[in-house]
Structure 1
Amino acid sequence: MMSEEMGELYKRGLQSTEAMIWLLDANQKILLLSNGAQKLTEDYAIPLKKIHDILTGKGCPLHALQDVCQDCPIEGHLNPEAIPFQLRNKQGHLASFWGKLTTISDPATNIFYQYLEIRSWQTTQQVQQERLMLGYLNEAQEVERQRIARDLHDGLAQSMYSLMLESRRLMKKYRLEETTDSQQLDASFVELLQEVRTLAAELYPAALEDLGLLQAIFHLADQLKQLAGFHLDVNVQGKPFSFPKRTASHIYRIIQEAVTNSLKYAEVNQATVSFIFEDNVCTIQIKDNGKGFDTSTQKHGLGLWNMQERALAIDATISIYSTFQWGTTITLRLVRIEEIQ
């Protein structure tokens, strides 16, 4: 049974959206539907079970037999984000739609539900273009982060280090190293050099590339504690496995965004990141006990939207659950994919 908090959260959210969304239990029973979904049912016959079968691979509008569908010769040419089908309106005319089925979990009960979304063909084309653009921007941003981080570390930081050594040489030559002014100058060099290196690490953490995702998150926790007094507890359960470089980068940015939001808005100084490894599945949960927020009004925020799009880019499911005074829980779930050499 869905918890009262999650039920109320989705009820408010679905009532305020024109998107066509159904919330289903494991038996495909309708628990909630949005205003947009209600309007669609007024104009079209909605064979929900048939649509569900199409989206779960039990049937397909392109093939007569399931065996043929599962061995589809055009696999890879269809958009995996959504499946096409047609609906007939009350006048008997057909219209094209796309459907997407996402599994979400209720953190309070650990029960999984199904989030069914239907879009018109025109709307879906626009969304796909937006996602392609966002994906391109994210990839370009990562490349630019790496470039700036290298310039800071290998260029500016090295130049500052050379200046610091030269100032020490001159102070020693003229026997000024024991004066207060020279000590303050040297301390300023050290502090500024550390700030530049910290900035470079924040832009693109070397630990992510050199040591992998988990060590990069532990390093992030150390940075947050030293620089902001924020305690990020990192828990790892099960036998860890590695992620492809691109996947690890997206996961890191999702965690970084979530933790930064906790630091800025939750009014707490502690959060937890848990990695749960089970066979070839990894579940990552970022949780704080802060003041929370209303996801129905904040869902269009750039940070939350970017987290969701990053999850989609690596074929992961993400759920964002938050209530006032009870904190926020973000759950990311993905299947292990071997990196192609």
Structure 2
Amino acid sequence: MESNASDLFVIVLMGFFLMLIMGSFIVVMVVIHRQKQLQNKQRLAAVQAEFEKTILNAEKEIQENTLSHVGRELHDNIGQLLSLAKMNLSSSKPEKVSEGKSMMNQIIKEVRALSKTLNLDWVETISLREFIEKELEKLQSAEFCQTHFNLKGKEFTLDKDRKLILIRILQECLNNAIKHAQPENITISMDFQDDQLEIRIKDDGKGFDTSQESSGSGMFNLKNRIATIGGNIQVQSIIGKGTDIKLSLPNSIA
């Protein structure tokens, strides 16, 4: 009897310890799961904060570029037109007065066009293709270099935030080419695939040593910005032969 009671006590004790171990294991797993959930929430919050920061920086920089453009247009274009219109309207010749009135109508159109660029509403009304074509047209009109544009595939719609960041990245790539590359030709190609958009910006300018890119923040900023919208950037450049930049962005609705 004593042996049976002892065996029963051992079995009960082992069961108790087994339950204790299982309970402890469950508690540990719950704690680990909650910690992972907290880490995931913190990681998502950090990604969202970085995305919002990138958006704000892109908006600020585009607005600054826009103000610089408006200033140049007011001084170089509209200012000149106003001076010519004033001269013509002060003339005693009817044909000159008529030409002056025509210039005033042109000035009004120019001012209205400029006023539309002072906010970022235009980002929603223009496609990425149209933006690129206009930027290349500006370079061509300024006789900076020859520009070329290639389009492949069926264009899909990008939401405003992703488009805004892409616009700023493209502006920065073109600004770098203007400031440093001194190219004779700049070519931008857009390839709309089912699952992603590929954009290539190529120039035949001075090129640079890509192994030295870490010394500056420009390439880091480009990589960081496109990463916030799920894309990536690849840069190939040869000194004396030009630069080839490839942007890849997944189609969020594919």
TM over 0.5: yes
Matches for 1:283-302 after TM superposition, within 5 Å: 283-302=198-217
- Decide which structure has greater helix share: 2
1:228 partner SS? coil
Work out which of the residue numbers 56, 60, 66 in structure 2 matches 1:141: 60
Alpha-carbon separation, structure 2, partners of 1:140 and 1:239 = 28
The answer as to 2:155 corresponding to 1:240 is yes
Q: Is the 8 A contact 2:145 2:184 kept in 1?
A: yes
Aligned-pair CA distance for 1:311: 0.7
- Which is further off, 235-244 or 141-150? 141-150
Alpha-carbon separation, structure 2, partners of 1:200 and 1:332 = 29
Amino acid at match of 1:316: G
Aligned-pair CA distance for 1:292: 0.8
Amino acid at match of 1:244: D
Work out which of the residue numbers 242, 259, 273 in structure 1 matches 2:174: 259
Aligned-pair CA distance for 1:272: 1.3
Aligned-pair CA distance for 1:300: 3.9
Q: Is the 8 A contact 1:250 1:310 kept in 2?
A: yes
Aligned-pair CA distance for 1:223: 1.1
- Decide which structure has greater strand share: 1
Q: Is the 8 A contact 1:205 1:216 kept in 2?
A: no
Work out which of the residue numbers 195, 204, 215 in structure 2 matches 1:280: 195
Relative to structure 1, the CA distance from residue 197 to residue 161 in structure 2 (aligned partners, 3 Å threshold; closer, same or farther) is: farther
Aligned-pair CA distance for 1:198: 7.1
Could you report, residue by residue, the CA deviation over 1:21-60 in whole angstroms, capped at 9, with x for unpaired residues? xxxxxxxxxxxxxxxxxxxxxxxxxxxxxxxxxxxxxxxx
Matches for 1:86-105 after TM superposition, within 5 Å: none
| Residue of structure 2 equivalent to 1:317 | 232
TM-score (norm 2): 0.62
The answer as to 2:139 corresponding to 1:175 is no
Alpha-carbon separation, structure 2, partners of 1:297 and 1:281 = 30
2:174 partner SS? helix
| Residue of structure 1 equivalent to 2:145 | 230
Alpha-carbon separation, structure 1, partners of 2:104 and 2:214 = 43
Alpha-carbon separation, structure 1, partners of 2:145 and 2:131 = 16
Aligned-pair CA distance for 1:211: 2.6
Aligned-pair CA distance for 1:218: 0.8
Aligned-pair CA distance for 1:332: 1.0
Aligned-pair CA distance for 1:324: 1.2
The answer as to 2:235 corresponding to 1:271 is no
Could you report, residue by residue, the CA deviation over 1:57-98 in whole angstroms, capped at 9, with x for unpaired residues? xxxxxx9xxxx9xxx8669625369xxxxxxxxxxxxxxxxx
1:315 partner SS? coil
Aligned-pair CA distance for 1:209: 3.2
> How many residues are paired up?
212
| Residue of structure 2 equivalent to 1:79 | 43
Alpha-carbon separation, structure 2, partners of 1:241 and 1:262 = 27
Q: Is the 8 A contact 1:289 1:328 kept in 2?
A: yes
Could you report, residue by residue, the CA deviation over 1:190-216 in whole angstroms, capped at 9, with x for unpaired residues? 79x969967985x87876432311111
1:304 partner SS? helix
* Structure number, greater radius of gyration: 2
Could you report, residue by residue, the CA deviation over 1:98-133 in whole angstroms, capped at 9, with x for unpaired residues? xxxxxxxxxxxxxxxxxxxxxxxxxxx9xx8x9579
Q: Is the 8 A contact 1:221 1:233 kept in 2?
A: yes
Task: List gaps (5 residues or longer) in structure 2.
Answer: 1-28
Amino acid at match of 2:92: R
Amino acid at match of 1:77: K
Alpha-carbon separation, structure 2, partners of 1:279 and 1:167 = 55
Q: Is the 8 A contact 1:168 1:177 kept in 2?
A: no
Task: List gaps (5 residues or longer) in structure 1.
Answer: 1-62, 82-124
Alpha-carbon separation, structure 2, partners of 1:162 and 1:226 = 18
Relative to structure 1, the CA distance from residue 257 to residue 177 in structure 2 (aligned partners, 3 Å threshold; closer, same or farther) is: farther
Alpha-carbon separation, structure 1, partners of 2:206 and 2:119 = 30
Q: Is the 8 A contact 1:285 1:331 kept in 2?
A: yes
Work out which of the residue numbers 195, 213, 219 in structure 1 matches 2:128: 213
TM-score (norm 1): 0.48
Alpha-carbon separation, structure 2, partners of 1:336 and 1:323 = 31
